[in-house]
Structure 1
Amino acid sequence: MQGIRGLMVVVALAGAMLPLTGCNKRLIDERNALYTQNTELQDELNRCRAAMDSAEGDRGNLMNQISSLQNQLAVERSKPPVVQRVEVPTPVVTPVVQARTGFDNIAGIETETGNGTITVRVPGDVLFSSGKTTLKSQAQSTLDKIASVIRRDYGSKTIRVEGYTDTDPIRKSKWADNLDLSLARAASVHRYLQKKGINGRQLEAVGLGEWHPRSSKAKSRRVEIVVVLND
């Protein structure tokens, strides 16, 4: 009988122990899960610390580079400026060569080219006495040379003879005014050139009076023989 009771006590204790065993297993599982989670968090924390250390190292390197560059800049700024001598080549000046016209070697005249013409400028005092329209004897030599060039080089071109005067008004001569005098002088040169073999159809005589003065009265008194190239 006593044996049966003892057996019943053992069975009762075993039955009571069953719930305790299940509870312990759950606690152990929770503990293990927490341990695993703690380990993972610790690993993550270690990785974050390593990344922070690396970033701090990079920041330190950058700060060192900035400091080094600032020091180099300060050194360069403290140096005196370097002046480099540059050799500038001397420009080559090419002389302007005026095209030869054929009138170039005639003494006592000026020649000018442009706008399709050649202008042969003969001083009026070389050609005429004051207030006169008769050619001086020494003027004929100059006109002979001009006529020779025209016949040789410009036989088919229009030759315009232009007379000019200074601004002094006409007082004692027979001419009505400076325009009248300039035209008469141009006509005298026109006739002389025609006499020297220039075709009269080439020649034109124009009086322009006092309206185109030059730098002085002496230079204003002139006859210009204009070769018109662009006929």
Structure 2
Amino acid sequence: MKYRISFLALLAVAVLGQSCVSSKKYKELDANYTQLQNSTRDLSVKYQTSEQALAVARSRNQSLEEQINQQKANVTALQDALNKCLNSSSQGNVNISKLVDEINSSNRYIQQLVNAKNKSDSLNMVLTNNLTRSLTPQETQDVDVKVLKGVVYISLSDNMLYKSGSYEISDKAGATLSKIAKIIMDYSNYDVLIEGNTDNVPISQKNIRNNWDLSALRASSVVQALQTTYQVDPKRLTAGGRGEYNPIADNSTPTGKAQNRRTQIIITPKLDQFMDLIGKAPAEQPAPAKQ
């Protein structure tokens, strides 16, 4: 808005002063401004989409664990009911064979969920180890790789990834991005969210209104580099910016600010695989037998 007001003020001065600014030049500037507005609106939509995708990804692991715990509780209840039946004088009134079948069915489903979770955790660990081993000691100073709740986070410092005060990818970032791109290509069943983050220092660059813009533009630059330079399928990529509102350190110190100026590459298994698995759960859980 500030940019728009300034532009109109300059235009008014030009008209009143009978300067030589032509109608063609005015239309060109106005078209550029409209293009910037459209670009910003597109980035905002992409950000909202990435936020929703990440929220679902983070809940995926929790959903699996809840399913496992629920099934374990059902098995315990069924086992208790079976034990009571076996110790009761009225065993003839209870279908013990059916109860045993229900316990075995629940046990099989629990094992299926456990195996899926273990497979996901194992693949994440292999992915992390492969990437970590490929990095040089110098690169490890600017790249942090972690696995949290079944999701792989690759955090890249801004001084390695971008030109100073810019969202353009620096030349020295190419080697590191190529290694990350290879890992992403090797694990084709994973989706990738690129998330830009900044410190709380206001941006003063031309055509960048605030840290929201900067973080989203930086994430978009990484996405486009992965697509155009390293041939990663763009259908697997999402770009989003979180501005200064997702800090991991105190912004009151230079060290904290440096930690907060980062771009995260978040790698998660495709959610439809786990949703299909959870959807195979029994429609009704067996109830304990009554005495």
Band of TM-score, shorter chain:
0.5 to 0.7
Letter in 2 for 1:160: L
Q: Quick one: which of 132, 136, 145 aligns to 1:104?
A: 132
> CA, structure 1 residues 201+172, in 2 after alignment: closer, same or farther (shift >3 Å)?
closer
1:170 alignment partner in structure 2? 203
- Which of the pair is proportionally richer in helix? 2
Change in Cα spacing, 1:114 to 1:220, as seen in structure 2 (3 Å) is: same
Q: Which amino acid aligns with 1:225?
A: I
Q: Secondary structure at the match of 1:174?
A: coil
Q: Deviations over 1:184-211 (max 9, x none)?
A: 0000000011121211000000101000
2:249 is equivalent to residue 223 of structure 1? no
The yes-or-no answer on 1:124 pairing with 2:158 is yes
Q: Is 134-143 or 212-221 further displaced after alignment? A: 212-221
Deviation at 1:157, TM superposition (A): 1.2
Counterpart-to-counterpart distance in 1, 2:158 and 2:181: 17
Bigger Cα Rg: 1
Q: Does structure 1 conserve the Cα–Cα contact (< 8 Å) formed by 2:189 and 2:269?
A: no
> Quick one: percent identity of the two aligned structures?
30
Q: How much does 1:165 deviate?
A: 0.6
How large is the Cα RMSD of the aligned pairs? 1.5
Question: Retained in 2: the 8 A contact 1:116–1:230?
Answer: no
* 8 Å contact from structure 1 (residues 166, 210) kept in 2: yes
Structure 1 stretches lacking a partner, 5+ long: 1-97
Q: Decide whether the 8 Å contact of 1:131 with 1:173 is kept in 2.
A: no
Work out whether residues 124 and 222 of structure 1, in 8 Å CA contact, stay in contact via their aligned partners in 2. Answer: yes
Please tell me whether residue 194 in structure 1 is matched to residue 227 in structure 2: yes
Matched, 1:161 2:201: no
Unaligned runs of 5+ in 2: 1-123, 250-255, 272-291
Could you list the per-position Cα deviations for residues 3-47 of structure 1 after superposition, in whole angstroms to 9, with x for gaps in the alignment? xxxxxxxxxxxxxxxxxxxxxxxxxxxxxxxxxxxxxxxxxxxxx
Who is 1:64 aligned against? none
Q: Which letter does structure 2 place at the counterpart of 1:168?
A: V
User: Normalising by the residue count of structure 1, what TM-score does the alignment of the two structures yield?
Assistant: 0.55
| Contact 1:163/1:206 (8 A) holds in 2 | yes
CA distance in 1, matches of 2:263, 2:155: 6
**Per-residue CA shift, 1:54-105, capped at 9, x if unaligned?**
xxxxxxxxxxxxxxxxxxxxxxxxxxxxxxxxxxxxxxxxxxxx93422212
Range moving further from structure 2, 172-181 or 195-204: 172-181
Runs of 4+ in 1 over 3 A off after TM superposition: none
The alignment of Structure 1 onto Structure 2 pairs a total of residues equal to 133
Of 166, 181, 185, the residue aligned with 1:151 is 185
* 2:190–2:268 Cα contact (<8 Å) kept: yes
AA paired with 2:243?
G
